[in-house]
Amino acid sequence: MKIARFSRIGFILAAAGSAVGLGNIWKFPYIAGEYGGGAFVLIYLATVLLIGFSIMIAEMLIGYLGRKDTVTSFEELAPKNKNLWKLGGFQGLAGLFIMIFYSVVIGWIFNYIVTSLTSLPSTVEEAEITFNAMLHTDVFTQLFYHTLAFIWITYVLTKGIKGGIEKMNLFLMPALMIILSSMFIYATTLGAFSQAVSFMFSPDWSKINSEAFVVAVGHAFFTLSLGMGAIMTYSASMEKGSNLVKNAFWVVFLDTTIAIVAGLMLFTFLYQYGSGPAKGPGLVFISLPAAFYEMGIIGNIFAVLFFIALAFAGLTSSVSLVEPMVQYFIDRFSWSRLKASISMGLFFYLVGIIALLSNIDGYKEALTWGGKNFFDWVDFFTAAVMLPLGGLIMAIFVGFIVEKQRVESIMRPQLGFAFDAWYFSLRYITPVAMFVVMLSLMGIL
C-alpha cells in the first residue's frame, strides 16, 4: 500500500498550522502584556531561535528517520534499550491531553463568532459579565460548541494526511493569514499603532524577572507545538530528500510572525478604542470585544473575522494534537484510520465534558482540588510537565542516543558550519533549559 506523503508546501502549512494556534493569537499577546511588552518579546524571540528552533529540527529528524508513529520511531532509532526509549514516543499523549481543554476553548470561540454577528458588549464590564455567564452557568452553549469542535476535528482526521490534514491546512492557513494581514493593515492606519510598536519593541527591563524567562521558554515550546509528537508525526510523512532546516525555519518564521502581527494588531485596537494593553487571559474574550464595539460597524466585521481566524488557528492545531495517537494505533495495532480517529476523538470529547463542567457552578466544587479545578489541572500538567519533559527527552535522544554519524550525515550538509553549535546546544544547553523550565513551572524552583 502506498503511504501518503505531504507535499513540501503541504508539510510546511500543516506544521505551521500545528504551531500557529491559540498560543499565538490568544496567549502570546496577554503574556507579553503581563511582562511589560518589549523586554519579554525580545526574550521570547531569543528563546525561539536558540532553543525552539534547535528542538524543532531534532523532532523533525526523529520523525523523518523513523517514518512511523512516535513510539515506533523512538524504538527503531535507539541502538539499544529499545523498550525503554520507546516510552519517549508516548509524548503524543500530551497533545491528546491538551485537547481535553483545547476543544472547550475552541467552543468558546465558535460561540463568540455568533455573538459578534449579533451584538457586542458595549463595555469591558458588560463583556466580563457575558463571558463569566457563559463560563460558569451556560452548560448547553458550551456543550453544543464543544460537540461541533469534536465533529470537525474527528472528520478531518478520518480523511488522513492528504485528503484531510493537508487539504484543510491548504485552505485554512492562507485564509488565516489573509484575515490577520487585512486587520493588521487597517491597524497601521490608526494613531495608536505607534504606541503598540513602542510597547512591543521598546524593552522595559524593570518588569523582567526570572519568572519571565521561564514563561518565555515554556510559551515558545507550547506555541511551536514541540514536545507533543505533532511535528514528529508530520515529519514521518515528509518527502524523501526534504531539507529539515529550511522546513523548520519556515514553520518557526510563520509561527513567530503571526504572533507578532497578532500582538501589534490587538494592542493597537486596545490603545485606540480600549484602555491600553489589557492583561490576563480575558484580553481576547473580554477586553477586545468591548474595543470592537467602540469601532462601530467595522468593529462588528472585524470581530467576526478575528474570531473566525482564531477558530481556524485552533482547528489546525487541534488536528495535529490528536494525529500522533491516531497514527500510533494505526501503526502498532493495525486499527483503521476511521476507528483510531473516532476513538481518540471520543476520548478528548468525553473527558473534555468533565473539564467543561469543572467551570460550572454546581459542579466545580466537586471537580476542584489543590486550588485548581479539573480544567486548570489538565492545562497545568501538560504545560509544566509533559511538554518540557518531551523536549528534554528529544534533546537527549538525538544528542546522546542516536549515533552521531547518522545525525551528522543528514544534518551537517543542511546546517553547514552551524552543525557543531546546534549539536552542542542540543546536548548541553537545551536539556538544562528544559529541566529548569519544568521544575520552575512545577513550583519546585
What is the model's pLDDT at position 190?
92
- Return the half-sphere exposure (C-beta side, CA atoms, 13 A cut-off) of residue 362: 5
Does the structure show a pLDDT above 50 at 34? yes
What is the model's pLDDT at position 399?
95
- Return the half-sphere exposure (C-beta side, CA atoms, 13 A cut-off) of residue 224: 34
Domain 8-441, architecture per CATH: Orthogonal Bundle (1.10)
What is the model's pLDDT at position 227?
86
**How large is the average pLDDT for residues 6-21?**
74
Task: Report in angstroms the alpha-carbon separations of 334 from 69, 72, 330, 338, 340.
Answer: 12, 13, 5, 11, 9
- Please write the tens of the pLDDT for every residue from 194-219: 999 998 888 777 777 777 777 887 78
Closest to 290 in 3D by CA, of 311, 276, 305: 276
Q: Whole-number mean pLDDT of the chain?
A: 88
- What pLDDT band is residue 277 in, cutting at 50, 70 and 90? low
**How large is the average pLDDT for residues 303-315?**
90
- What pLDDT band is residue 6 in, cutting at 50, 70 and 90? low
Task: Report in angstroms the alpha-carbon separations of 103 from 98, 170, 246, 303, 321.
Answer: 9, 22, 31, 21, 11
Q: Contact, 206 vs 46, CB < 8 A? A: no
Angle at 226 between CA 225 and CA 229, to 5 degrees: 95
Does the structure show a pLDDT above 90 at 58? yes
Does the structure show a pLDDT above 80 at 42? yes
Does the structure show a pLDDT above 90 at 133? yes
C-alpha cell at position 401: 542516543
Task: Report in angstroms the alpha-carbon separations of 76 from 72, 80, 88, 148.
Answer: 6, 9, 12, 38
Strand partners, 368: 373
What is the model's pLDDT at position 387?
87
Q: What is the pTM of this model?
A: 0.90
Does the structure show a pLDDT above 60 at 122? yes
Task: Report in angstroms the alpha-carbon separations of 398 from 282, 394, 408, 421.
Answer: 39, 6, 11, 14
- Please write the tens of the pLDDT for every residue from 379-431: 889 888 898 899 899 999 999 999 999 999 999 999 999 999 999 999 998 89
328 Rama class: left (phi>0) / alpha (psi -120 to 50) / beta: alpha
Does the structure show a pLDDT above 90 at 297? no
What is the model's pLDDT at position 10?
76
C-alpha cell at position 16: 505551521
pLDDT over 70, % of the chain: 96
- What pLDDT band is residue 290 in, cutting at 50, 70 and 90? confident
What is the model's pLDDT at position 369?
94
What is the model's pLDDT at position 435?
87
What is the model's pLDDT at position 276?
62
- Please write the tens of the pLDDT for every residue from 318-366: 999 999 999 999 999 999 999 999 999 999 999 999 999 999 999 999 9
- What pLDDT band is residue 132 in, cutting at 50, 70 and 90? very high
- What pLDDT band is residue 2 in, cutting at 50, 70 and 90? very low
**How large is the average pLDDT for residues 35-45?**
84
Q: Which residues contact 303 (CB under 8 A, 6 or more apart)?
A: 112, 116, 120, 288, 289, 292
Q: Contact, 91 vs 230, CB < 8 A? A: no
- What pLDDT band is residue 64 in, cutting at 50, 70 and 90? very high
- What pLDDT band is residue 442 in, cutting at 50, 70 and 90? confident
- What pLDDT band is residue 33 in, cutting at 50, 70 and 90? confident
Stronger pLDDT, 438 or 82, i.e. the higher one: 82
C-alpha cell at position 295: 469601532
Give phi and psi for 388, each to the nearest 5.
-60, -35
Give phi and psi for 229, each to the nearest 5.
85, -5
- Please write the tens of the pLDDT for every residue from 158-195: 998 777 888 888 888 888 889 989 999 999 999 999 99
Q: Could you give the CA distance from residue 152 to residue 160 in angstroms, rounded to a whole number?
A: 13
